[in-house]
Structure 1
Amino acid sequence: MAIINASVLFFTALLSFSALILAIVACAGSTSNYNPLNKIFVAQLNLKNLNADKVFSKTSSELDIPAFINVGLWSYCVASDNGSVKYCTSPNGIQKFDLKKMLTDSIGNNKVADMADSLAKVMLPDNLQDKMGYYNNLVKCMFITLLIGICALFLDLVVNIVRWIVHARLLNWFGRFLASIAFTSLIISAGTSTGTYVYIRHLLKENYDEYGIKLSLGRVFLALIWATVGAALFNSILWGLVRARRRSYPGSPMPSEEKPLI
Protein backbone atom coordinates (compact mmCIF):
# COMPACT_ATOMS: atom_id res chain seq x y z
CA MET A 1 0.00 0.00 0.00
CA ALA A 2 2.85 2.38 0.80
CA ILE A 3 4.29 1.89 -2.68
CA ILE A 4 0.89 2.45 -4.29
CA ASN A 5 0.34 5.61 -2.29
CA ALA A 6 3.80 6.92 -3.20
CA SER A 7 3.14 6.16 -6.87
CA VAL A 8 -0.16 8.03 -6.79
CA LEU A 9 1.51 11.07 -5.20
CA PHE A 10 4.27 10.97 -7.80
CA PHE A 11 1.83 10.92 -10.71
CA THR A 12 -0.31 13.70 -9.22
CA ALA A 13 2.84 15.83 -8.94
CA LEU A 14 3.83 14.98 -12.51
CA LEU A 15 0.38 15.80 -13.88
CA SER A 16 0.01 19.06 -11.96
CA PHE A 17 3.51 20.15 -13.04
CA SER A 18 2.81 19.24 -16.68
CA ALA A 19 -0.53 21.05 -16.65
CA LEU A 20 1.09 24.10 -15.05
CA ILE A 21 3.80 24.34 -17.73
CA LEU A 22 1.31 23.85 -20.57
CA ALA A 23 -1.01 26.52 -19.16
CA ILE A 24 1.82 29.02 -18.70
CA VAL A 25 3.04 28.49 -22.28
CA ALA A 26 -0.50 28.93 -23.63
CA CYS A 27 -0.95 32.07 -21.56
CA ALA A 28 2.35 33.56 -22.80
CA GLY A 29 1.51 33.10 -26.49
CA SER A 30 2.03 36.13 -28.79
CA THR A 31 3.59 38.24 -26.03
CA SER A 32 6.87 38.60 -27.96
CA ASN A 33 8.26 37.92 -31.41
CA TYR A 34 10.30 34.88 -30.39
CA ASN A 35 9.83 31.28 -31.44
CA PRO A 36 7.70 29.45 -30.30
CA LEU A 37 5.73 32.18 -28.48
CA ASN A 38 4.94 34.00 -31.74
CA LYS A 39 3.30 30.83 -33.07
CA ILE A 40 0.86 30.54 -30.16
CA PHE A 41 -2.35 32.56 -30.54
CA VAL A 42 -6.02 32.12 -29.71
CA ALA A 43 -7.18 33.16 -33.17
CA GLN A 44 -5.77 34.53 -36.42
CA LEU A 45 -7.36 37.19 -38.59
CA ASN A 46 -6.71 36.78 -42.31
CA LEU A 47 -6.79 40.19 -43.99
CA LYS A 48 -5.26 39.22 -47.34
CA ASN A 49 -8.55 39.83 -49.15
CA LEU A 50 -9.75 42.70 -46.99
CA ASN A 51 -12.23 44.91 -48.84
CA ALA A 52 -10.61 48.20 -47.90
CA ASP A 53 -13.20 50.25 -49.81
CA LYS A 54 -15.93 48.75 -47.64
CA VAL A 55 -14.10 48.68 -44.30
CA PHE A 56 -12.59 52.17 -44.47
CA SER A 57 -14.63 55.24 -45.34
CA LYS A 58 -11.85 56.53 -47.55
CA THR A 59 -9.01 54.37 -48.76
CA SER A 60 -5.69 54.82 -50.41
CA SER A 61 -3.24 52.54 -52.15
CA GLU A 62 -0.69 53.66 -49.56
CA LEU A 63 -2.49 51.85 -46.75
CA ASP A 64 -0.15 49.07 -45.68
CA ILE A 65 -2.69 46.66 -44.22
CA PRO A 66 -1.14 43.55 -42.60
CA ALA A 67 -1.91 40.11 -44.03
CA PHE A 68 -2.51 38.47 -40.64
CA ILE A 69 -3.18 39.53 -37.06
CA ASN A 70 -2.53 36.84 -34.44
CA VAL A 71 -4.68 37.44 -31.37
CA GLY A 72 -3.16 36.41 -28.04
CA LEU A 73 -4.40 36.72 -24.46
CA TRP A 74 -2.14 39.64 -23.51
CA SER A 75 -1.31 41.15 -26.89
CA TYR A 76 -1.39 40.47 -30.63
CA CYS A 77 1.17 40.00 -33.37
CA VAL A 78 1.18 41.23 -36.98
CA ALA A 79 2.36 38.82 -39.69
CA SER A 80 3.23 39.15 -43.38
CA ASP A 81 1.82 37.24 -46.36
CA ASN A 82 4.06 34.22 -45.75
CA GLY A 83 2.98 34.02 -42.10
CA SER A 84 6.23 35.30 -40.58
CA VAL A 85 5.61 37.61 -37.63
CA LYS A 86 6.80 41.20 -38.05
CA TYR A 87 6.20 42.45 -34.53
CA CYS A 88 4.06 41.90 -31.42
CA THR A 89 2.45 44.56 -29.30
CA SER A 90 3.48 44.93 -25.67
CA PRO A 91 1.43 42.89 -23.17
CA ASN A 92 -1.18 45.22 -21.65
CA GLY A 93 -3.57 43.17 -19.56
CA ILE A 94 -6.65 41.45 -20.90
CA GLN A 95 -6.62 41.58 -24.70
CA LYS A 96 -10.11 42.44 -25.91
CA PHE A 97 -11.25 41.31 -29.32
CA ASP A 98 -11.57 44.81 -30.75
CA LEU A 99 -11.24 44.33 -34.50
CA LYS A 100 -11.57 48.04 -35.24
CA LYS A 101 -8.76 48.95 -32.84
CA MET A 102 -6.52 46.15 -34.11
CA LEU A 103 -6.95 47.36 -37.68
CA THR A 104 -6.29 51.03 -36.93
CA ASP A 105 -3.39 50.29 -34.57
CA SER A 106 -1.66 47.94 -36.99
CA ILE A 107 -1.99 50.48 -39.79
CA GLY A 108 -0.72 53.16 -37.42
CA ASN A 109 2.32 51.03 -36.65
CA ASN A 110 2.97 50.91 -40.39
CA LYS A 111 3.52 54.68 -40.34
CA VAL A 112 0.44 55.80 -42.24
CA ALA A 113 -1.49 57.07 -39.23
CA ASP A 114 -1.42 60.56 -40.71
CA MET A 115 -4.12 59.41 -43.15
CA ALA A 116 -6.78 60.37 -40.63
CA ASP A 117 -9.61 60.44 -43.16
CA SER A 118 -9.03 56.81 -44.06
CA LEU A 119 -8.91 55.74 -40.42
CA ALA A 120 -11.71 57.93 -39.14
CA LYS A 121 -14.48 55.44 -39.77
CA VAL A 122 -14.14 51.68 -39.85
CA MET A 123 -17.16 49.71 -41.06
CA LEU A 124 -17.50 46.15 -39.73
CA PRO A 125 -20.35 43.62 -39.63
CA ASP A 126 -23.22 44.92 -37.49
CA ASN A 127 -23.84 41.54 -35.87
CA LEU A 128 -20.21 41.58 -34.70
CA GLN A 129 -20.09 45.17 -33.49
CA ASP A 130 -23.47 45.15 -31.73
CA LYS A 131 -22.48 42.36 -29.34
CA MET A 132 -18.80 43.23 -28.96
CA GLY A 133 -19.25 43.90 -25.23
CA TYR A 134 -20.75 40.44 -24.77
CA TYR A 135 -17.92 38.75 -26.67
CA ASN A 136 -15.30 40.63 -24.68
CA ASN A 137 -16.92 39.59 -21.41
CA LEU A 138 -16.42 35.99 -22.53
CA VAL A 139 -12.82 36.77 -23.48
CA LYS A 140 -12.32 38.29 -20.02
CA CYS A 141 -13.79 35.14 -18.44
CA MET A 142 -11.39 32.99 -20.50
CA PHE A 143 -8.42 35.08 -19.36
CA ILE A 144 -9.31 35.20 -15.66
CA THR A 145 -10.19 31.51 -15.34
CA LEU A 146 -6.91 30.55 -17.03
CA LEU A 147 -4.99 32.62 -14.47
CA ILE A 148 -6.99 31.05 -11.63
CA GLY A 149 -6.20 27.61 -13.03
CA ILE A 150 -2.47 28.40 -13.17
CA CYS A 151 -2.44 29.65 -9.56
CA ALA A 152 -4.42 26.61 -8.37
CA LEU A 153 -2.05 24.22 -10.17
CA PHE A 154 0.98 25.87 -8.58
CA LEU A 155 -0.51 25.66 -5.08
CA ASP A 156 -1.58 22.08 -5.74
CA LEU A 157 2.01 21.18 -6.66
CA VAL A 158 3.27 22.81 -3.45
CA VAL A 159 0.74 20.85 -1.36
CA ASN A 160 1.81 17.66 -3.12
CA ILE A 161 5.46 18.24 -2.19
CA VAL A 162 4.57 19.02 1.42
CA ARG A 163 2.38 15.90 1.53
CA TRP A 164 5.44 13.72 0.95
CA ILE A 165 6.87 15.03 4.24
CA VAL A 166 3.78 15.68 6.36
CA HIS A 167 1.34 12.76 6.55
CA ALA A 168 -1.77 14.79 7.39
CA ARG A 169 -5.29 14.03 6.23
CA LEU A 170 -5.94 17.77 5.92
CA LEU A 171 -3.31 18.06 3.18
CA ASN A 172 -5.17 15.41 1.18
CA TRP A 173 -8.29 17.53 1.28
CA PHE A 174 -6.34 20.66 0.35
CA GLY A 175 -4.83 18.83 -2.61
CA ARG A 176 -8.21 17.56 -3.79
CA PHE A 177 -9.78 20.99 -3.40
CA LEU A 178 -7.04 22.78 -5.34
CA ALA A 179 -7.02 20.10 -8.06
CA SER A 180 -10.78 20.45 -8.53
CA ILE A 181 -10.52 24.26 -8.63
CA ALA A 182 -7.76 24.02 -11.24
CA PHE A 183 -9.72 21.62 -13.43
CA THR A 184 -12.96 23.62 -13.18
CA SER A 185 -11.23 26.91 -14.01
CA LEU A 186 -9.28 25.46 -16.92
CA ILE A 187 -12.23 23.72 -18.55
CA ILE A 188 -14.23 26.97 -18.31
CA SER A 189 -11.32 28.84 -19.91
CA ALA A 190 -10.88 26.27 -22.68
CA GLY A 191 -14.61 26.02 -23.38
CA THR A 192 -15.09 29.78 -23.37
CA SER A 193 -12.16 30.45 -25.69
CA THR A 194 -13.21 27.75 -28.13
CA GLY A 195 -16.88 28.69 -28.17
CA THR A 196 -16.34 32.45 -28.42
CA TYR A 197 -13.95 32.37 -31.34
CA VAL A 198 -15.87 29.64 -33.16
CA TYR A 199 -18.91 31.93 -33.11
CA ILE A 200 -16.92 35.01 -34.18
CA ARG A 201 -15.47 32.94 -37.01
CA HIS A 202 -19.02 32.06 -38.03
CA LEU A 203 -20.07 35.73 -38.06
CA LEU A 204 -17.11 36.79 -40.18
CA LYS A 205 -17.69 33.89 -42.57
CA GLU A 206 -21.27 35.05 -43.11
CA ASN A 207 -19.98 38.49 -44.09
CA TYR A 208 -16.83 37.41 -45.93
CA ASP A 209 -18.06 38.33 -49.41
CA GLU A 210 -18.70 41.87 -48.22
CA TYR A 211 -15.72 42.51 -45.95
CA GLY A 212 -13.11 39.92 -46.97
CA ILE A 213 -12.06 39.09 -43.39
CA LYS A 214 -11.50 35.51 -42.24
CA LEU A 215 -10.78 34.17 -38.78
CA SER A 216 -9.22 30.84 -37.92
CA LEU A 217 -8.64 29.28 -34.51
CA GLY A 218 -5.15 28.92 -33.07
CA ARG A 219 -4.56 25.16 -33.21
CA VAL A 220 -1.42 25.25 -31.08
CA PHE A 221 -3.15 27.27 -28.36
CA LEU A 222 -6.19 24.99 -28.37
CA ALA A 223 -3.98 21.89 -28.24
CA LEU A 224 -2.11 23.35 -25.25
CA ILE A 225 -5.19 24.45 -23.33
CA TRP A 226 -7.13 21.22 -23.86
CA ALA A 227 -4.06 19.15 -22.98
CA THR A 228 -3.89 21.20 -19.79
CA VAL A 229 -7.52 20.39 -19.07
CA GLY A 230 -6.85 16.67 -19.58
CA ALA A 231 -3.83 16.69 -17.26
CA ALA A 232 -5.77 18.65 -14.63
CA LEU A 233 -8.64 16.15 -14.84
CA PHE A 234 -6.41 13.12 -14.25
CA ASN A 235 -4.61 15.02 -11.50
CA SER A 236 -7.93 15.65 -9.75
CA ILE A 237 -8.94 11.99 -10.08
CA LEU A 238 -5.64 10.71 -8.68
CA TRP A 239 -5.84 13.02 -5.67
CA GLY A 240 -8.97 11.11 -4.70
CA LEU A 241 -6.84 7.96 -4.42
CA VAL A 242 -4.29 9.43 -2.00
CA ARG A 243 -4.73 8.02 1.50
CA ALA A 244 -3.61 9.34 4.86
CA ARG A 245 -1.45 7.44 7.35
CA ARG A 246 -3.49 5.13 9.51
CA ARG A 247 -3.60 6.03 13.16
CA SER A 248 -2.24 3.57 15.72
CA TYR A 249 -3.54 3.40 19.26
CA PRO A 250 -1.78 2.23 22.46
CA GLY A 251 -2.24 -1.47 23.00
CA SER A 252 -3.20 -2.15 19.37
CA PRO A 253 0.02 -2.91 17.49
CA MET A 254 0.02 -2.77 13.72
CA PRO A 255 0.15 -6.17 12.01
CA SER A 256 3.68 -7.08 10.98
CA GLU A 257 2.77 -7.35 7.31
CA GLU A 258 1.15 -3.96 7.26
CA LYS A 259 3.38 -0.97 6.65
CA PRO A 260 2.50 2.67 7.34
CA LEU A 261 1.28 4.62 4.37
CA ILE A 262 3.12 7.65 3.09
Structure 2
Amino acid sequence: MRNFFTLFFAAIFSLGALILAIIACAGSTKNYSPINKIYCAELDLSQMKVSKVFPSLTSVTLSSLGLPAYINIGLWSYCIEDSSRNIQSCSSPNGIQKFNLTSLVYDNIEKNEALELIDSVADIVLPEKLRSKMTYYNNLVKCMFITILIGIVLTFVNLAFNILRCVLHIRPLAWGGAFFSFFAFVALLVSIGSCLGTYSYIKYILKHNYDDYGISMSIGRIYQGLMWGAVVGALLNFILWCSVRSRPTVVHANAPIEEKPLI
Protein backbone atom coordinates (compact mmCIF):
# COMPACT_ATOMS: atom_id res chain seq x y z
CA MET A 1 0.00 0.00 0.00
CA ARG A 2 2.90 2.35 0.75
CA ASN A 3 4.28 1.86 -2.75
CA PHE A 4 0.90 2.68 -4.26
CA PHE A 5 0.66 6.07 -2.56
CA THR A 6 4.33 6.85 -3.27
CA LEU A 7 3.88 6.11 -6.96
CA PHE A 8 0.56 7.99 -7.04
CA PHE A 9 2.06 11.22 -5.72
CA ALA A 10 5.18 10.74 -7.86
CA ALA A 11 2.92 10.53 -10.92
CA ILE A 12 1.14 13.75 -9.91
CA PHE A 13 4.43 15.66 -9.53
CA SER A 14 5.79 14.17 -12.76
CA LEU A 15 2.65 15.08 -14.70
CA GLY A 16 2.70 18.59 -13.24
CA ALA A 17 6.34 19.09 -14.22
CA LEU A 18 5.59 17.80 -17.72
CA ILE A 19 2.64 20.14 -18.26
CA LEU A 20 4.47 23.21 -16.92
CA ALA A 21 7.55 22.52 -19.07
CA ILE A 22 5.45 22.03 -22.21
CA ILE A 23 3.57 25.30 -21.62
CA ALA A 24 6.85 27.15 -21.08
CA CYS A 25 8.32 25.58 -24.22
CA ALA A 26 5.32 26.73 -26.29
CA GLY A 27 5.63 30.36 -25.15
CA SER A 28 5.42 33.11 -27.82
CA THR A 29 4.72 30.65 -30.65
CA LYS A 30 1.19 31.97 -31.28
CA ASN A 31 -0.48 35.32 -30.82
CA TYR A 32 -3.18 34.27 -28.41
CA SER A 33 -3.43 34.48 -24.65
CA PRO A 34 -1.77 33.23 -22.52
CA ILE A 35 0.84 31.74 -24.87
CA ASN A 36 1.85 35.17 -26.18
CA LYS A 37 2.65 36.33 -22.65
CA ILE A 38 5.21 33.58 -22.01
CA TYR A 39 8.75 34.55 -23.01
CA CYS A 40 12.32 34.12 -21.77
CA ALA A 41 13.22 37.80 -21.99
CA GLU A 42 11.78 41.10 -23.22
CA LEU A 43 13.66 43.80 -25.11
CA ASP A 44 12.49 47.36 -24.45
CA LEU A 45 13.10 49.52 -27.53
CA SER A 46 10.62 52.23 -26.56
CA GLN A 47 13.39 54.66 -25.51
CA MET A 48 15.97 53.61 -28.09
CA LYS A 49 18.26 56.43 -29.23
CA VAL A 50 17.94 56.22 -33.00
CA SER A 51 20.85 58.58 -33.74
CA LYS A 52 23.24 56.33 -31.79
CA VAL A 53 21.99 52.97 -33.08
CA PHE A 54 21.62 54.26 -36.68
CA PRO A 55 24.45 56.79 -37.19
CA SER A 56 23.71 56.98 -40.92
CA LEU A 57 20.19 58.29 -40.29
CA THR A 58 19.44 61.87 -39.39
CA SER A 59 16.16 63.32 -38.14
CA VAL A 60 14.56 59.88 -37.94
CA THR A 61 12.34 58.86 -35.04
CA LEU A 62 11.52 55.43 -33.67
CA SER A 63 7.97 55.63 -35.03
CA SER A 64 9.15 56.50 -38.52
CA LEU A 65 11.30 53.38 -38.53
CA GLY A 66 8.23 51.34 -37.63
CA LEU A 67 10.10 49.48 -34.91
CA PRO A 68 8.02 47.82 -32.17
CA ALA A 69 8.29 49.19 -28.65
CA TYR A 70 8.95 45.72 -27.19
CA ILE A 71 10.18 42.36 -28.47
CA ASN A 72 9.35 39.26 -26.42
CA ILE A 73 11.89 36.48 -27.04
CA GLY A 74 10.69 32.90 -26.70
CA LEU A 75 12.42 29.57 -27.29
CA TRP A 76 11.11 29.05 -30.81
CA SER A 77 10.02 32.51 -31.92
CA TYR A 78 9.30 36.03 -30.69
CA CYS A 79 6.35 38.41 -30.41
CA ILE A 80 6.29 42.18 -30.88
CA GLU A 81 4.36 44.72 -28.77
CA ASP A 82 3.40 48.32 -29.35
CA SER A 83 3.81 51.13 -26.83
CA SER A 84 0.39 50.33 -25.33
CA ARG A 85 1.62 46.81 -24.46
CA ASN A 86 -0.63 45.22 -27.05
CA ILE A 87 0.93 42.25 -28.84
CA GLN A 88 0.75 42.82 -32.58
CA SER A 89 2.11 39.56 -33.98
CA CYS A 90 4.38 36.60 -33.34
CA SER A 91 6.96 35.15 -35.70
CA SER A 92 6.63 31.58 -36.95
CA PRO A 93 8.51 28.93 -34.92
CA ASN A 94 11.76 28.19 -36.73
CA GLY A 95 13.86 25.97 -34.50
CA ILE A 96 16.31 27.33 -31.97
CA GLN A 97 15.72 31.06 -31.50
CA LYS A 98 19.21 32.56 -31.59
CA PHE A 99 19.79 35.84 -29.79
CA ASN A 100 20.96 38.45 -32.28
CA LEU A 101 19.90 41.93 -31.27
CA THR A 102 21.16 43.45 -34.52
CA SER A 103 19.04 41.10 -36.63
CA LEU A 104 16.02 41.57 -34.37
CA VAL A 105 16.19 45.33 -34.89
CA TYR A 106 16.92 45.15 -38.61
CA ASP A 107 14.24 42.56 -39.39
CA ASN A 108 11.54 44.61 -37.67
CA ILE A 109 12.13 47.89 -39.48
CA GLU A 110 9.21 48.59 -41.77
CA LYS A 111 9.88 48.77 -45.47
CA ASN A 112 9.80 52.53 -45.97
CA GLU A 113 12.10 55.36 -46.93
CA ALA A 114 14.08 55.01 -43.73
CA LEU A 115 14.93 51.39 -44.51
CA GLU A 116 16.25 52.39 -47.93
CA LEU A 117 18.87 54.54 -46.21
CA ILE A 118 20.20 51.51 -44.33
CA ASP A 119 22.33 49.30 -46.54
CA SER A 120 22.66 46.31 -44.17
CA VAL A 121 22.85 45.21 -40.57
CA ALA A 122 26.38 46.62 -40.57
CA ASP A 123 24.83 50.09 -40.32
CA ILE A 124 23.36 49.25 -36.91
CA VAL A 125 25.64 50.07 -33.96
CA LEU A 126 25.15 48.18 -30.68
CA PRO A 127 27.33 47.45 -27.59
CA GLU A 128 30.58 45.74 -28.56
CA LYS A 129 30.23 43.07 -25.86
CA LEU A 130 26.99 41.87 -27.45
CA ARG A 131 28.58 41.52 -30.87
CA SER A 132 31.91 40.04 -29.79
CA LYS A 133 30.39 37.30 -27.64
CA MET A 134 27.45 36.39 -29.88
CA THR A 135 28.65 32.80 -30.37
CA TYR A 136 28.97 32.35 -26.60
CA TYR A 137 25.43 33.60 -25.97
CA ASN A 138 23.93 31.44 -28.67
CA ASN A 139 25.70 28.32 -27.38
CA LEU A 140 23.97 28.91 -24.05
CA VAL A 141 20.66 29.49 -25.85
CA LYS A 142 21.13 26.17 -27.65
CA CYS A 143 21.82 24.49 -24.32
CA MET A 144 18.65 26.02 -22.86
CA PHE A 145 16.61 24.87 -25.86
CA ILE A 146 17.99 21.32 -26.06
CA THR A 147 17.86 20.60 -22.33
CA ILE A 148 14.22 21.64 -21.96
CA LEU A 149 13.32 19.22 -24.77
CA ILE A 150 15.37 16.48 -23.08
CA GLY A 151 13.66 17.24 -19.77
CA ILE A 152 10.20 16.99 -21.35
CA VAL A 153 11.01 13.66 -23.05
CA LEU A 154 12.58 12.14 -19.92
CA THR A 155 9.68 13.28 -17.75
CA PHE A 156 7.24 11.62 -20.15
CA VAL A 157 9.30 8.39 -20.11
CA ASN A 158 9.39 8.51 -16.32
CA LEU A 159 5.61 8.86 -16.24
CA ALA A 160 5.35 5.74 -18.41
CA PHE A 161 7.62 3.88 -15.97
CA ASN A 162 5.34 5.01 -13.15
CA ILE A 163 2.30 3.44 -14.81
CA LEU A 164 4.18 0.20 -15.56
CA ARG A 165 5.52 0.03 -11.99
CA CYS A 166 1.99 0.16 -10.63
CA VAL A 167 1.18 -2.97 -12.64
CA LEU A 168 4.46 -4.90 -12.62
CA HIS A 169 6.40 -5.25 -9.37
CA ILE A 170 9.85 -5.85 -10.79
CA ARG A 171 13.12 -4.30 -9.72
CA PRO A 172 14.34 -2.88 -13.09
CA LEU A 173 11.23 -0.67 -13.31
CA ALA A 174 12.02 0.89 -9.94
CA TRP A 175 15.60 1.53 -11.01
CA GLY A 176 14.52 2.90 -14.38
CA GLY A 177 11.97 5.24 -12.81
CA ALA A 178 14.57 6.70 -10.44
CA PHE A 179 17.10 7.02 -13.27
CA PHE A 180 14.79 8.93 -15.63
CA SER A 181 13.33 11.09 -12.87
CA PHE A 182 16.82 12.21 -11.82
CA PHE A 183 18.00 13.15 -15.30
CA ALA A 184 14.68 14.84 -16.10
CA PHE A 185 15.21 17.03 -13.03
CA VAL A 186 18.82 17.79 -14.05
CA ALA A 187 17.84 18.67 -17.64
CA LEU A 188 15.10 21.08 -16.56
CA LEU A 189 17.40 22.66 -13.98
CA VAL A 190 20.17 23.18 -16.54
CA SER A 191 17.65 24.69 -18.98
CA ILE A 192 16.31 27.31 -16.61
CA GLY A 193 19.79 27.96 -15.21
CA SER A 194 21.27 28.66 -18.65
CA CYS A 195 18.26 30.83 -19.54
CA LEU A 196 18.54 32.93 -16.40
CA GLY A 197 22.32 33.23 -16.64
CA THR A 198 22.37 34.18 -20.34
CA TYR A 199 19.67 36.83 -20.35
CA SER A 200 20.70 38.22 -16.96
CA TYR A 201 24.17 38.92 -18.35
CA ILE A 202 22.77 40.48 -21.52
CA LYS A 203 20.48 42.58 -19.31
CA TYR A 204 23.56 43.68 -17.36
CA ILE A 205 25.39 44.72 -20.55
CA LEU A 206 22.42 46.72 -21.85
CA LYS A 207 21.90 48.37 -18.47
CA HIS A 208 25.48 49.67 -18.43
CA ASN A 209 25.09 50.97 -21.98
CA TYR A 210 21.58 52.37 -21.55
CA ASP A 211 22.65 56.02 -21.59
CA ASP A 212 24.19 55.50 -25.04
CA TYR A 213 21.63 53.23 -26.71
CA GLY A 214 18.42 53.49 -24.67
CA ILE A 215 17.77 49.72 -24.93
CA SER A 216 16.98 47.59 -21.89
CA MET A 217 15.98 44.00 -21.16
CA SER A 218 13.84 42.28 -18.53
CA ILE A 219 13.50 38.60 -17.65
CA GLY A 220 10.18 36.88 -18.38
CA ARG A 221 8.57 36.23 -15.00
CA ILE A 222 5.84 33.89 -16.24
CA TYR A 223 8.38 31.71 -18.04
CA GLN A 224 10.59 31.65 -14.95
CA GLY A 225 7.63 30.70 -12.76
CA LEU A 226 6.59 27.87 -15.05
CA MET A 227 10.09 26.46 -15.34
CA TRP A 228 10.92 26.66 -11.65
CA GLY A 229 7.58 24.98 -10.93
CA ALA A 230 8.58 22.21 -13.34
CA VAL A 231 11.98 21.87 -11.65
CA VAL A 232 10.42 21.58 -8.18
CA GLY A 233 7.90 19.03 -9.46
CA ALA A 234 10.70 16.99 -11.06
CA LEU A 235 12.73 17.12 -7.84
CA LEU A 236 9.83 15.93 -5.68
CA ASN A 237 9.15 13.20 -8.22
CA PHE A 238 12.76 12.00 -7.97
CA ILE A 239 12.68 12.04 -4.15
CA LEU A 240 9.55 9.89 -4.14
CA TRP A 241 11.06 7.46 -6.64
CA CYS A 242 14.02 7.01 -4.29
CA SER A 243 11.64 5.65 -1.66
CA VAL A 244 9.84 3.21 -3.98
CA ARG A 245 10.48 -0.38 -2.92
CA SER A 246 11.77 -2.77 -5.55
CA ARG A 247 9.26 -5.39 -4.49
CA PRO A 248 6.11 -5.16 -2.43
CA THR A 249 6.51 -5.97 1.22
CA VAL A 250 4.83 -9.23 2.11
CA VAL A 251 3.74 -9.73 5.68
CA HIS A 252 3.52 -13.36 6.76
CA ALA A 253 1.15 -14.19 9.56
CA ASN A 254 2.64 -16.34 12.31
CA ALA A 255 1.37 -19.89 12.15
CA PRO A 256 -0.57 -20.95 15.27
CA ILE A 257 1.38 -23.08 17.72
CA GLU A 258 -0.18 -26.45 18.21
CA GLU A 259 -0.60 -27.39 21.83
CA LYS A 260 0.61 -30.82 22.73
CA PRO A 261 -1.96 -32.95 24.46
CA LEU A 262 -1.37 -33.59 28.13
CA ILE A 263 -0.61 -37.20 28.97
Q: Which residue of structure 1 aligns with residue 38 of structure 2? A: 40
- Asked if structure 1 preserves the Cα contact closer than 8 Å seen for 2:49 and 2:213, the reply is yes
Q: When the two structures are superposed, what TM-score results if normalisation uses the length of structure 2? A: 0.91
The alpha-carbon deviation at position 65 of structure 1 amounts to: 1.3
Q: 3-state DSSP class of the match of 1:73?
A: coil
Give the alignment of 1:183-198 within 5 angstroms.
Answer: 183-198=185-200
Q: Decide whether the 8 Å contact of 2:77 with 2:92 is kept in 1.
A: yes
Write out per-residue CA displacement over residues 101-147 of structure 1, whole angstroms, 9 at most, x where no aligned residue.
1111111xx33387232352110000111101101100110110000
Gaps of 5+ in 1: 249-253, 258-262
Query: Cα offset for 1:16?
Result: 0.5
Query: Relative to structure 1, is the Cα distance of residues 113 and 215 closer, same or farther in structure 2, using a 3 angstrom cutoff?
Result: farther
Q: 1:80 aligns with which of 63, 82, 85?
A: 82
Match of 2:205 in 1: 203
CA distance in structure 2 between the partners assigned to 1:173 and 1:190 by the alignment: 26
Moved over 6 A (4+): none
- Out of 55, 67, 80, the position equivalent to 1:65 is 67
Mapped partners of 1:26, 1:64: distance in 2: 29
Aligned residue in 2 for 1:175: 177
Over aligned residues, Cα RMSD in angstroms?
1.6
Confirm whether residue 92 of structure 1 aligns to residue 94 of structure 2.
yes
Match of 1:251 in 2: none
Name the residue aligned to 2:26: 28
- SS state at 1:127 partner: helix
- Which residue matches 1:111? 111
1:215 aligned residue: 217
Gaps of 5+ in 2: 255-263
What's 1:166 paired with? 168
1:135 corresponds to: 137
- Aligned partner of 2:50 in structure 1 is 52
The 8 Å contact of residues 142 and 193 in structure 1, kept in 2 or not, is answered as yes
For 2:199 and 2:221, the matched residues in 1 are separated by 12
What is residue 256 of structure 1 aligned with on the other side? 253
**Structure with max Cα Rg:** 2
TM-score (norm 1): 0.91
Contact 1:45–1:216 (8 Å) recurs in 2: yes
Against the structure 1 CA distance between its residues 119 and 197, is the aligned structure 2 distance closer, same or farther, given a 3 Å change threshold?
Answer: farther
Q: What amino acid maps onto 2:106 in structure 1?
A: T
% identity of equivalent residues: 48
